[in-house]
Amino acid sequence: MIAISGMSFRYKSRQPVLDNLTFNMEAGGVYGILGANGVGKTTLLHLIGGLLFPKSGQISVDGHAPRYRSPAFLEQVFYVPVDFDLPSIKVGVYQKRYAPFYPKFNPEAWSNALQTFGIQPDMRLQALSFGQRKKVLLSFALASGCRILLFDEPTDGLDIPSKDSFRRLLSAQIDEQRLAVITTHHVHDVAMLLDQLIILQEHRLLLQASIADLAENIRTVTSTQLPPEKSLLYSERVPGGYHCLLRNTEGQEGPLDLELLFKALQISPEIVQNTLR
């Protein structure tokens, strides 16, 4: 559904923001994109959405070149940015004004999302808090019927119950025909949603793997003592002991802390990558 081949991007004469990326994203799942500040996560979403153009290489989104932003492309892609402006109108008017641009917009899903988030159609957008306006935009995205949903830090501004609501609403909307891409620093907010993980480091692709493959090869434990070195990939001190990333040599089912995995990859990428081969 999204195919990126040899793609690089830079702003004017600066160093590359993204350098020679090649990977695919398929329908039917939720992809999480992790990386340190400035590594190019938001830029990647802008490139996929046709808001920026690659300096080299190719991007294909559902068979379209995003840079041309054709009507057929725009009606299938919805992007929720970190920062956004909404017009000074009522929530219900927003839906009536913008839903016609999305032929598969689902009014029932819209009403359900608003109700779940505690938003009323007669509320005025300019009177809402940032978090409430974020809920309106997320509700519209989920109801848009677009096959590709792009979320940049979707849980920013949401309280704990609303984060849970977002997870439940997104899970209900993703099927074998749709794809969601999430960039985030708040891994714990979305970890249970993810089917695939992409990690960027130094403007390049460091890792792409399914959560299932990761969990099959790696597990997380908390122990008062460090496990044997042969199984230990990474550890950090926590109150009462160590939080450890281990090789899952015996196929044990157990939790996988994606934040701990991310930290391990930043320090020793070759260790974890070799474990997955």
Query: What are the tokens at 104?
Result: 């598969």
How many domains, in total, are found in the chain?
Answer: 2
pTM of the entire structure?
Answer: 0.94
Domain boundary among 202, 225, 241: 202
- State whether 79 and 169 are in the same domain: yes
- State whether 28 and 9 are in the same domain: yes
- Asked whether residue 37 carries a pLDDT value surpassing 80, the answer given is yes
- State whether 109 and 227 are in the same domain: no
Give the Cα separation of 196 and 276 in Å (integer): 14
- Give the pLDDT of residue 129: 96
Q: For residue 277, name the pLDDT band (cuts at 50, 70, 90).
A: low
Domain CATH code at residue 30: 3.40.50.300
Name the residue with higher pLDDT: 36 or 252: 36
- State whether 55 and 110 are in the same domain: yes
- State whether 153 and 249 are in the same domain: no
DSSP 186-219: -HHHHGGG-SEEEEEETTEEEEEEEHHHHHHHEE
Query: How confident is the model over 51-72, as a mean pLDDT?
Result: 95
Host domain of residue 241: 211-276
Mind listing the pLDDT tens digit for each residue in 66-84?
999 999 999 999 999 999 9
- State whether 113 and 242 are in the same domain: no
Strand segments (E) across 10-64? 18-25, 29-34, 56-61
- Give the pLDDT of residue 255: 80
Domain boundary among 202, 235, 261: 202
Per 3-state DSSP, the chain is made up of helix, strand and coil in percentages (nearest 5) of: 35, 30, 35
Mind listing the pLDDT tens digit for each residue in 208-265?
999 999 988 898 999 898 888 888 999 999 998 999 999 887 777 778 899 999 999 8
Domain boundary among 139, 169, 202: 202
Q: Are 6 and 22 in contact (CB under 8 A)?
A: yes
- State whether 260 and 124 are in the same domain: no
